[in-house]
């Protein structure tokens, strides 16, 4: 027998999807158009989730931290799959970095002493420890290790051959663990995958004016965010973890068009990820685009948003980025690519995330709650910046001008009392 979900109430299907209920068939007590139902169900099936988990380091032991990440990430993967999301599981291998310059140097010196066919990771670890100790004693050895990694990035045949050998041996051993756990991945793109993709990140950072030189290296100053600088490029021109992680964010956003990205990692990595997420925001990598076609009903002065073009419908495009949230509501910065009647209100409502205070397209119960709590009687929507393009004629004196307006007091009060101010990003709108 087919499972059947019977849902009643105002916008019942939207509410069901918002709460991530798995639905095979829907019977709505309140009459609704079949086309609208199909559209809403389709929205649920189009949600994309990217999960980054496991991520062991090549040529190093698979430790308890990696096991924890693997198990938790695998569980999240299965749960989201069960709920009907499009899920991509990524094993972001630690297969690049200065440590490989060390390992290459160590293998050049002592490789003939070790049989890597038996317990390869154990033997590679011994080599790494041995060369690391030598680096502490001799600065010239450390410099040679750094040069090896730079050669690897530049495609030196010998360095690439050794690195490939270390990676293949490690993956063979890791797979034994994954087979025991029943863990699978959709992508094995590790740090090395983004070698040829970091240039675009650096170009974007240069254009932003945020990339500055410090002691021969290049960094992003994050003092305003209460964090240490984010190292983008070392003094010898080699890349960093941060550069590769930023390239990964950019690639995944374009490839998977994800609605949510999850990173399953250890607490010790919190600062690193806070840094790269903040830099990603500076680059606008957290921006999202939604498109559709808007049809206006002149009789009731109300619009509907459709996925496909129909007679009389106008194309719309909206860009947005989240600035903060409390788990229930989110503060968005929205840019109109097209300017249509009720575009922001209708477009966001069509995604299942209507404006607070919007009785025409929003949720009455939620709006009533904010009215009782804060006396809110209007939409929580504020035009904080207006840019005038180049124009001719009587209004040409306005060409290129920009006008800004601070957030109203009630808007700021709600943000503060609803604890949507965690990252203080809304101050950009003040």
| CA atoms in the 13 A half-sphere facing the CB of 400 | 1
Say which DSSP state 57 is in.
B
Helix (H, G, I), strand (E, B) or coil at 386: strand
For residue 178, pLDDT over 70 is answered with: yes
361-376 pLDDT, tens per residue? 999 999 999 999 999 9
Per-residue pLDDT, averaged over 36-42, amounts to 50
Q: State the DSSP string of 218-244.
A: EEE--GGGTSPPEEEE-TTS-B-HHHH
Do 38 and 60 belong to one domain?
A: no
For residue 32, pLDDT over 60 is answered with: no
Q: What is the largest CA-CA distance in the chain?
A: 85
Do 58 and 201 belong to one domain?
A: yes
Per-residue pLDDT, averaged over 274-287, amounts to 84
| Domain boundary, last residue among 252, 282, 312 | 282
Whether 63 sits among the annotated catalytic residues: the reply is yes
* Lookup: tokens for 4: 């059947």
The CATH number of the domain holding residue 409 is 3.30.2350.10
Do 101 and 217 belong to one domain?
A: yes
* Lookup: tokens for 233: 């490029």
DSSP β-ladder status, 302-306 and 314-325: unpaired
Return the sign of the alpha-carbon dihedral for residues 8, 9, 13, 18: negative
Per-residue pLDDT, averaged over 395-418, amounts to 91
Whether 353 sits among the annotated catalytic residues: the reply is no
| Domain boundary, last residue among 267, 282, 297 | 282
For residues 271 and 363, give the distance between their C-alpha atoms in angstroms, rounded to a whole number. Answer: 38
For residue 421, pLDDT over 80 is answered with: no
The pLDDT confidence band at residue 16, using thresholds 50, 70 and 90, is low
Say which DSSP state 156 is in.
-
The pLDDT confidence band at residue 53, using thresholds 50, 70 and 90, is very high
The pLDDT confidence band at residue 18, using thresholds 50, 70 and 90, is low
Do 17 and 112 belong to one domain?
A: no
Residue written as token pair 């709920």: 83
Q: Which of 275, 263, 303 is nearest to 76 (CA)?
A: 263
Do 93 and 168 belong to one domain?
A: yes
290-338 pLDDT, tens per residue? 888 998 888 888 888 888 888 889 999 998 888 888 878 889 989 888 9
| Active-site choice (18, 25, 63, 377) | 63
For residue 243, pLDDT over 80 is answered with: yes
| Active-site choice (66, 92, 150, 167) | 66
The CATH number of the domain holding residue 136 is 3.40.50.620
* CB proximity list for 20: less than 8 A, separation 6 or greater: 83
Give the per-residue pLDDT at 351. 82
| Domain boundary, last residue among 235, 262, 282 | 282
Whether 272 sits among the annotated catalytic residues: the reply is no
Name the domain count of the chain. Answer: 3
Do 313 and 414 belong to one domain?
A: yes
Angle CA 97–101–102, to nearest 5: 110
Q: C-alpha 370: how far from its chain's center?
A: 30
Do 373 and 264 belong to one domain?
A: no
Q: Which residue has the higher pLDDT, 33 or 122?
A: 122
Do 73 and 19 belong to one domain?
A: no
Per-residue pLDDT, averaged over 167-194, amounts to 93
Do 20 and 134 belong to one domain?
A: no
Say which DSSP state 311 is in.
T
Q: State the DSSP string of 389-427.
A: ----STTGGGTT-EEE-PPPHHHHHHHHHTT--TT-GGG
Per the CB < 8 A criterion, the answer to whether 276 and 263 are in contact is: no
Do 93 and 242 belong to one domain?
A: yes
Do 242 and 322 belong to one domain?
A: no
Give the per-residue pLDDT at 427. 56
The pLDDT confidence band at residue 26, using thresholds 50, 70 and 90, is very low
| Active-site choice (39, 60, 296, 413) | 60
Q: Which of 137, 134, 80, 72 is nearest to 102 (CA)?
A: 134
Do 389 and 411 belong to one domain?
A: yes
* Lookup: tokens for 151: 């050669």
Q: Show the domain range for 18.
A: 5-46
């Amino acid at each position: 027998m087919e499972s059947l979900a019977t849902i009643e109430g105002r916008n019942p299907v939207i509410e069901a999807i918002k709460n991530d209920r798995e639905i095979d068939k829907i019977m709505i007590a309140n009459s609704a158009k079949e086309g609208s139902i199909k559209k809403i169900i389709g929205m649920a099936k189009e949600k994309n989730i990217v999960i980054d988990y496991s991520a062991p380091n090549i040529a190093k032991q698979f430790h308890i931290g990696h096991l924890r990440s693997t198990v938790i990430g695998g569980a999240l993967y299965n749960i989201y799959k069960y709920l009907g999301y499009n899920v991509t599981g990524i094993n972001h291998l630690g297969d690049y970095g200065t440590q490989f310059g060390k390992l290459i140097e160590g293998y050049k010196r002592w490789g003939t002493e070790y049989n890597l066919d038996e317990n390869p990771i154990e033997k590679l670890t011994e080599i790494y420890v041995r060369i690391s100790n030598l680096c502490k004693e001799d600065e010239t050895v450390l410099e040679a290790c750094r040069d090896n990694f730079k050669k690897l990035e530049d495609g030196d045949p010998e360095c690439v051959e050794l690195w490939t050998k270390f990676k293949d041996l490690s993956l063979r051993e890791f797979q034994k663990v994954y087979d025991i756990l029943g863990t699978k991945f959709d992508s094995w793109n590790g740090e090395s995958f983004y070698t040829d993709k970091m240039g675009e990140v650096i170009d974007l950072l240069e254009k932003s004016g945020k990339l500055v030189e410090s002691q021969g290296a290049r960094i992003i100053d994050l003092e305003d965010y209460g964090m240490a600088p984010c190292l983008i490029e070392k003094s010898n021109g080699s890349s960093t973890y941060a550069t590769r992680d930023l390239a990964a964010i950019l690639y995944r956003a374009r490839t998977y068009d994800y609605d949510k990205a999850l990173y399953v990692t250890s607490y010790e990595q919190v600062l690193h990820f806070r840094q790269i997420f903040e830099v990603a925001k500076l680059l606008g990598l957290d921006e999202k685009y939604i498109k559709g076609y808007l049809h206006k009903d002149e009789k009731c002065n109300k619009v509907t948003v459709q996925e496909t073009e129909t007679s009389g419908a106008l194309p719309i495009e909206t860009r947005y980025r989240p600035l903060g949230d409390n788990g229930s509501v989110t503060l968005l910065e929205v840019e109109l690519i097209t300017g249509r009647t009720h575009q922001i209100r209708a477009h966001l409502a069509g995604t299942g995330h209507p404006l607070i205070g919007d009785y025409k397209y929003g949720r009455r119960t939620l709006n009533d709650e904010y009215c009782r709590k804060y006396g809110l009687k209007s939409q929580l929507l504020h035009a904080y910046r207006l840019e005038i393009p180049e124009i001719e004629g009587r209004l040409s004196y306005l060409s290129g001008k920009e006008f800004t307006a601070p957030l109203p007091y009630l808007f700021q009060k709600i943000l503060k009392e609803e604890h949507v101010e965690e990252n203080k990003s809304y101050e950009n709108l003040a």
